[in-house]
């Protein structure tokens, strides 16, 4: 994927929800299967984000070759080569989610194909909807890492 999908650009067809489920961080991405959204879905499948067959009462797998990197400006979904697949401005990231993701050094990540996410949808209703979409084969998910990139000062000799 040559250009990262920017989740803060409505034209990129990616909608994010940051949630805490029993104190555990969950990031849900609704991804339309068009344009760069389709490229993102393909990239995630190629990097081992598995199709899940349910959400409620199901443990998400580990081992996807993606994770999140957080810096002062962005939350980025990156692959093993540090290629950015998805980017969101830091100010759009929920602070409670970020605190939990830092503490756990990871998050549950679920992507939903052709699903629009509303910031007003009740979390319990969203979880039920995720479960239904997963059972219909329209969801991928895994537990992935989260690292915070800290600025470093150059060494002067």
Query: Domain for residue 153, yes or no?
Result: no
Average pLDDT over residues 77-93: 95
Examine residue 155 and state whether it is found in any structural domain, yes or no: no
In the numeric block, the tokens 């150059």 are attached to 154
pLDDT of residue 140: 98
Residue 154 lies in a domain: no
Answer yes or no: is 152 within a domain: no
Query: What does the pLDDT read at residue 36?
Result: 86
156 domain-assigned = no
Using CA atoms, how far apart are residues 141 and 61, in angstroms rounded to an integer?
7
> What is the residue range of 112's domain?
5-147
What secondary structure letter does DSSP report for 134?
H
Q: Please report whether residue 80 resides in a domain.
A: yes
Mean pLDDT, range 5-17, rounded to an integer:
67
pLDDT given at position 149: 83
The reported pLDDT for the residue numbered 156 is: 60
- When divided into structural domains, the chain yields a total of 1
Tell me the pTM: 0.88
Q: Judge whether 53 lies within some domain.
A: yes
Q: Note the helical H segments in the chain.
A: 35-46, 95-104, 123-135
Domain for residue 12, yes or no? yes
* Amino acid 35: pLDDT: 85
Which pLDDT score is estimated for 153? 60
pLDDT reported for residue 47: 97
């Amino acid at each position: 994927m040559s250009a990262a999908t920017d989740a803060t650009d409505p034209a990129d067809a990616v909608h994010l929800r940051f949630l805490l489920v029993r104190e555990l961080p969950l990031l849900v991405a609704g991804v339309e299967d068009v344009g760069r959204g389709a490229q993102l879905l393909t990239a995630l499948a190629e990097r081992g984000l598995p199709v899940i067959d349910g959400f409620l009462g199901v443990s998400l797998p580990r081992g996807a070759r993606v994770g999140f990197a957080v810096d002062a400006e962005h939350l980025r979904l990156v692959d093993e080569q540090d290629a950015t697949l998805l980017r969101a401005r830091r100010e759009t990231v929920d602070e409670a989610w970020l605190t939990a993701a830092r503490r756990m050094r990871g998050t549950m990540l679920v992507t939903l194909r052709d699903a629009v996410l509303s910031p007003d949808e009740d979390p319990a209703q969203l979880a039920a909807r995720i479960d239904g979409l997963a059972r219909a084969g329209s969801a991928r998910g895994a537990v992935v890492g989260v690292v915070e990139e800290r600025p470093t000062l150059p060494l002067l000799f």
